[in-house]
Amino acid sequence: MKKICIVGISGKLGQYMAQHALDRGFEVVGVCRARSVGKLDKFKERITVVPGATNDREVIKKAVAGCDGVLVVLVPWGVKQYSSGTAQAVLDHAPPAARLIFSCGWHITRDGQDVYSRTFITLVKIVTWLTRLLRVAEIDDQVEACKRIFASDTRWTVVRGSDLEEGESQGLPVWSRHVGDPILESNITRRVDFALFMVAAIENDELIHEAPAIVGCRTPSALAIKTGR
Ligand SMILES: NC(=O)c1ccc[n+]([C@@H]2O[C@H](COP(=O)([O-])OP(=O)(O)OC[C@H]3O[C@@H](n4cnc5c(N)ncnc54)[C@H](OP(=O)(O)O)[C@@H]3O)[C@@H](O)[C@H]2O)c1
């Protein structure tokens, strides 16, 4: 049986990933802030929780020990290098053979070949500036986290989510290497399916050292490519 760790398990994405992982028969260890442990009551006795900040190196070291895969919800909250601290702790402490799967948004680019609309670029700039000013979040620290992941020789995948919505699963999202590719045009994915893609990536070695940008498999742009329209 595979043992996996979900870092940031108490959030929406984390809980969906926990359910998919349990459905696959994986043993699940989760990391979340102590105050959020209660959000995981529905998984009681089916998962092990290590309470603590996800950028606490000792917490991560304990949680990822012996894991075959680590799923990481990268979030930039606060002005304390939370994303890069979380990513670095996982990169340093996960077993060398483990699959490491990180979540982020389309604003992360690996090779600079992504094509963004002017509106998107402006929005990211404004949100980055405003959230830093208000000391709510450091979007540029999520960028730093991903730079470190891309430079790492661990078995990583960075999954770049489109806009998200709630709703029933539609199945495994489709992906492309670059934002701007026609298949991604619809820019919407069900959060439950984002989680499915993350969990499935653990067993998909073709995604090692890839930064797939994903979109729902039943969105118009995905269906148009599938049917050759
Ligand atoms: N939201 C979107 O539209 C969107 C779009 C594309 C990609 N993504 C990516 O998808 C992933 C999940 O995003 P989500 O928006 O769906 O969020 P989410 O799954 O609800 O997760 C939010 C996480 O942030 C933690 N958190 C919240 N406030 C915090 C604080 N002040 N300090 C430390 N941790 C805090 C939460 O922990 P607690 O449970 O302890 O609060 C939880 O683990 C992220 O990697 C994001 O970049 C999101």
pLDDT the model gives residue 28: 98
Q: Is 13 in the pocket of ligand 1 (CB under 6 A)?
A: yes
Nearest CA to ligand 1 atom 47: 104
Q: Which of 201, 176, 229 is nearest to 102 (CA)?
A: 201
For residue 226, the model assigns a pLDDT of 73
User: pLDDT value at position 1?
Assistant: 82
DSSP 136: S
Q: Output the residue whose Cα is nearest ligand 1's atom 46.
A: 104
DSSP 202: T
Domain 3-226's class?
alpha beta
What are the CB-based long-range contacts (under 8 Å, 24+) for 78-83? 78/135, 78/136, 78/137, 78/138, 79/132, 79/135, 79/137, 79/138, 80/55, 81/55, 81/138, 81/141, 81/144, 82/53, 82/54, 82/55, 82/138, 82/141, 83/138, 83/141, 83/142, 83/144, 83/145
From its phi and psi, is residue 186 left (phi > 0), alpha (psi between -120 and 50) or beta?
alpha
**Which whole-number Å values give the CA distances from 115 to 91, 133, 186, in the listed order?**
29, 27, 14
CB of 124 sitting under 6 A from ligand 1: no
Question: For the chain, which residues make up each domain, given as ranges?
Answer: 3-226
What's the pLDDT score for residue 225?
Answer: 84
Per-residue pLDDT of the chain (229 residues; tens, 9 = 90+): 899 999 999 999 999 999 999 999 999 999 999 999 999 999 989 999 999 999 999 999 999 999 999 999 999 999 899 999 999 999 999 999 999 999 999 999 999 999 999 999 999 999 999 999 999 999 999 999 999 999 999 999 999 999 999 999 999 999 999 999 999 999 999 999 999 999 999 999 999 999 999 999 999 999 998 776 5
pLDDT at site 229:
59
Instruction: State the burial class of residue 105 (Cβ atoms within 10 Å of its Cβ: 0-12, 13-18, 19+).
Output: middle
Candidates 39, 56, 73, 134: which one to mutate for ligand 1, based on the most atoms within 8 Å of Cβ?
A: 73
Instruction: Quote the pLDDT of residue 100.
Output: 98
Cα Rg of the chain, angstroms: 17
